[in-house]
Amino acid sequence: MGSDRMPDLWEPAGTYLNTASYGLPPKPAWYALQDALDDWRGGRTSWEHWGIPGEEARASFARLVGVPVETVAIGATVSGLVGLVAASVPEGTRVLAPDVEFTSLLFPFLVHQHRGVSVRTVPARDLSGEIGPDVDLVAFSAVQMATGEVADLEAISLAAAEHGVMTVVDATQAVGWLPLDAGRFDVVATHGYKWLMSPRGTAYMAIRPERMDMVVPQAAGWYAGEDPLATFFGRPLRLAESARRLDTSPAWYMWVAAAQSLATVEQIGVDTIHDHDIALANRFRAGFGLEPGNSAIVMSDAPGASEKLASAGIQAAVRGGRLRTSWHVYNTAEHVERTLDVLGA
Ligand SMILES: Cc1ncc(COP(=O)(O)O)c(C=O)c1O
């Protein structure tokens, strides 16, 4: 598929350049959600089948990041899933993280200061070089939401392996456009509502099997059982062997849409989406005289951007006084040209 010929599966009302904030659902996700909501409103069905899409989405996510489905837990937020890991690390764990890191990855560790868990932050680009004998765990985003900076995944995973350091990755701004091999890291948590174009409340955590036993399923309920439909009542504790033991019960309707969104990503292919997104991002960068980059998120200095874009009905974000545009599967070369025109770039 050519870079500007993605399937006609989206219906943005205008020029939408803000996927780093939230992604737009493909039509199959939108319609499946409406059907489920309609069934809910009318009380037309039982509920059990609303659990199936969560399992389909879990399997899609596992394929997208190249790990066995048994190693993927589902939950509602990145912070909730990472919180399980942070609550389970030993007292005195020394964490290394980027300094502008999103708080959903940092706060879960910072709240364990009373247990001697410490968090040292350094500029994102210095991360791999700072991994050494004084670090127990490195926590970082694969792609930074504030800047679009893509982490040097290769260098970080090599340095971490060399020093026996646990790796916890937030891939929320990556999975869906950046090919990522989650098997190289201990934990990869991802929210689906951005580049995976799902509703909020659909998050995933891939965990290396060797790390599974150390993480206490602090939020376990009926859905953490091997067969949730057989884990409704009474003792004894009977948790799933797989990462499902870390699940929280799914927000049914949201997962109905998520399963379709992830299926769409799989159908198109992450490599194809990557090339499409990067081609548009780089075309936009060129309009600002910037060198080609490796991210689907572009930061640029565009004075008065908020007002100009708002009056043209273009959705983007301003972060730290700079314009942040995000380029995804539903964007086209026309969007690039129109936005550059509006900005006078
Ligand atoms: C990198 C990153 N991680 C996580 C989230 C969302 O976190 P949570 O799922 O805890 O709400 C965001 C939202 O902006 C994000 O950009």
Rounded CA-CA distance 100/36 in Å is 39
On whether both 181 and 308 belong to a single domain, the answer is no
| Residues 183 and 335 sit within 8 Å (Cβ to Cβ) | no
Dihedral sign, Cα of residue 106, residue 112, residue 113, residue 117: negative
- Report whether pLDDT(4) > 80: no
On whether both 250 and 292 belong to a single domain, the answer is no
CA-to-CA separations, 162 to 94, 135, 239, in angstroms, rounded: 16, 12, 33
Closest ligand 1 atom to the C-alpha of 144?
Answer: 1
On whether both 228 and 304 belong to a single domain, the answer is no
Q: Which of 195, 230, 265 is the last residue of a domain?
A: 265
Closest ligand 1 atom to the C-alpha of 77?
Answer: 9
**Residue whose CB lies within 8 A of the most ligand 1 atoms, among 84, 101, 102, 149, for a mutation test:** 102
Q: Which of 250, 265, 280 is the last residue of a domain?
A: 265
| Residues 210 and 197 sit within 8 Å (Cβ to Cβ) | no
On whether both 137 and 110 belong to a single domain, the answer is yes
On whether both 164 and 198 belong to a single domain, the answer is yes
Residues 164-172 have a mean pLDDT of 98
At 345, the pLDDT band (50, 70, 90 cuts) reads confident
Predicted pLDDT at 2: 43
Q: pLDDT tens digits, residue range 291-338?
A: 999 999 999 999 999 999 999 999 999 987 899 999 999 999 999 999
Predicted pLDDT at 1: 44
Q: pLDDT tens digits, residue range 190-213?
A: 999 999 999 999 999 999 999 999
| The residue to which tokens 């580049």 are assigned | 195
Residues 23-41 have a mean pLDDT of 98
- Report whether pLDDT(165) > 70: yes
On whether both 146 and 295 belong to a single domain, the answer is no
CATH number at residue 333: 3.90.1150.10
At 253, the pLDDT band (50, 70, 90 cuts) reads very high
On whether both 290 and 224 belong to a single domain, the answer is no
Predicted pLDDT at 3: 45
76 lines ligand 1 (CB under 6 A): no
Q: How many domains does the chain have?
A: 2
| Residues 63 and 72 sit within 8 Å (Cβ to Cβ) | no
Residues 36-54 have a mean pLDDT of 97
Q: pLDDT tens digits, residue range 66-112?
A: 999 999 999 999 999 999 999 999 999 999 999 999 999 999 999 99
CA-to-CA separations, 58 to 65, 102, 171, 311, in angstroms, rounded: 11, 24, 15, 40
Alpha carbon of 190 to ligand 1 centroid (Å): 8
On whether both 44 and 133 belong to a single domain, the answer is yes
- Report whether pLDDT(35) > 80: yes
172 lines ligand 1 (CB under 6 A): yes
Flag whether 153 is in a domain.
yes
Q: pLDDT tens digits, residue range 175-192?
A: 999 999 999 999 999 999
Q: pLDDT tens digits, residue range 12-30?
A: 999 999 999 999 999 999 9
Flag whether 3 is in a domain.
no
Q: Which of 205, 234, 265 is the last residue of a domain?
A: 265
How high is the mean pLDDT of the chain?
96
